[in-house]
Amino acid sequence: MRIAQVSYHTNPVAPLGGRHTGGMNVYVHELSRELARLGNQVDIFTRLEGELPEVTTLAPNLRLVQLPAGPAAPLDKALLTPYVPAFVAEMNRFAADEGLSYDLVHSHYWQAIAAGEPFARAQDAPHLVMFHTLGEVKNRARVSEEEPGERIRRERELAASADAIITASGHEHDLLARYYGADAGRMVSIPCGIDTDLFRPRDRDECRRALGIKPDRPVLLWVGRLEKLKGVDILIDAVAELEDPEILLLVVGGDEHGEELRAELEEQAREAGLAGGVRFTGAVPHEDLPAWYSAADVCVVPSYYESFGLVAVEAMACGTPVVASRVGGLVSTVTDGVNGYLIPWRCPEPFAEKLEVLIRNPELRANFARAARDSVQRFRWDEVALRMEALYGDVIAARAGEEVPA
């Protein structure tokens, strides 16, 4: 199959851990890589953000196509909607110049879906969509800036017009049905994948040595894009509740766009008397993260909302138990009392309580670690990509079937 992956607002191969570069980037890049490995021709379309070549070959069968739409510079995604038509025109131009026609278009996030829809129509190809996050759901979580009405209105229209909507969890499926009236018959649940060759347990002591962490210190780890929705404030207060000066909290992630929040969180930690107990490391390259997960006793995901939550799965793949909010996709990856704990309240005390249990109980941690490693097998990319490839084949066949005259 010749497949177009559309990731308009963010480049899937950009460095991770920035305000706008996280799970979706990892997902689009790895999914594309796996589909290319299976023998499909995959082009990833993204908006040009600098003086860069139009086409970059990332791997055999896999190309990154960067097309101009608006200023060729990084721009906040809130400002990118007006340039969607220009991006569509560029995708059409590129396909025409290359003499290519795509069998299927798969778009990620609402602006890319808005671009992918007319492009798929021009290609006479089916359009598969993944929302990754939903405006209505973000607004209901009430922690980030209000998502514009236009986003929610367009999401509703795009959910109605797509050939298929892929949801990463049963929870996302329910939200799309409840808030967007999406048709259950066109929704297919396929979980996100993780690289289980990269994310596997490493020697804890060695990792700690390499990261300059004392072998006997209880270590808690948070990883992600530094934004309010991720709930790092809850975690800092939870650590303060524990009143143990030995505890070290590592906060991994963040770039220049997250400096204001980082300063606020640093201040919060100082006021809570944790100046020496919280370390903000900035973003860490994806391939170095296994050492951080392996060095930690517990990985904490205190998010107000999380559509899938790759970090929790990566941590579990490294044999690190997770204490996470009982929200969104985390409910489908973390099993309470088996490979971690799920906390139903967005407040520090219940997090502190479960963190204390795990910190004080190495045997329990070891049991959770074993269960955690087993539980991530279903997120192996080789399996997830095969499911996606089969879905693509079905959607293409269904459409071809519809168009064959009776």
Kindly list the residues in this chain that would bind ligand UDP in the complex (CB under 6 A). Answer: 16-17, 22-24, 26, 223-225, 252-253, 283-284, 286, 289, 308-311, 314
Token pair recorded at residue 265:
């969180």
Q: How far apart are CA 64 and CA 67, in angstroms?
A: 10
Report the nearest approach of ligand UDP to the CB of residue 323 (Å). 15
Residue closer to ligand UDP by CB (options 126, 319) is 319
135's tokens? 């405006």
Q: At closest approach, how far in Å is the CB of 183 from ligand UDP?
A: 25
Looking at the Cβ atoms of 42 and 252, the one nearer to ligand UDP is 252
From the CB of residue 285, how many other CB atoms can be counted at a distance below 10 Å?
A: 9
- The torsion angles phi and psi of 222, rounded to 5 degrees, stand at -120, 135
Give the nearer residue to ligand UDP in terms of CB position, either 4 or 226.
226
> Based on CB atoms, which residue is closest to ligand UDP, 103 or 195?
195
Angle in degrees, 0-180, between the axes of helices 149-161 and 110-123, rounded to the nearest 10: 40
Q: How far is the CB of 280 from ligand UDP (least distance, A)?
A: 11
Residue with the CB atom nearest ligand UDP in the bound state: 22
* Least gap, CB of 336 to ligand UDP (angstroms): 19
Q: How far apart are CA 280 and CA 21, in angstroms?
A: 18
**Least gap, CB of 306 to ligand UDP (angstroms):** 7
Query: Which is it for strands 55-59 and 164-167: parallel, antiparallel or unpaired?
Result: unpaired
Q: How far is the CB of 383 from ligand UDP (least distance, A)?
A: 18
For residue 1, give the DSSP letter. Answer: -
d(CA 84, CA 69): 7
Q: Which is nearer to ligand UDP, 21 or 123 (CB)?
A: 21
Closest listed residue to residue 250, CA positions, set 214, 286, 290, 277: 277
Q: Which is nearer to ligand UDP, 22 or 348 (CB)?
A: 22
Bridge partners (DSSP) listed for residue 162: none
**Among 242, 243, 255, 254, residue whose Cα is nearest residue 349:** 242
Q: How far is the CB of 365 from ligand UDP (least distance, A)?
A: 21
Helix (H) or strand (E) segment spanning residue 41 = strand 41-47
In the complex with ligand UDP, the residue whose CB is nearer, 224 or 350, is 224
Give min distance, CB of 223 to ligand UDP, in A.
Answer: 5
Pairing mode of beta strands 62-67, 55-59: antiparallel
CA distance 293 to 311: 9
- Decide whether 127 or 286 has the Cβ nearer to ligand UDP: 286
Paired strand residues for 208: none
- Residue type present at position 16: L
Q: Which is nearer to ligand UDP, 89 or 284 (CB)?
A: 284
In the bound complex, what is the minimum distance in angstroms from residue 189's beta carbon to ligand UDP?
A: 16
Q: Which is nearer to ligand UDP, 15 or 337 (CB)?
A: 15
CB of 308 to ligand UDP, least distance (A): 5
φ, ψ for residue 389, nearest 5 deg: -60, -40
What would the 3-class secondary structure string for 289-357 be? HHHHHHHCCEEEECCCCCCCCHHHHHHHHCCCCEEEECCCCHHHHCCECCCEEEECCCCHHHHHHHHHH
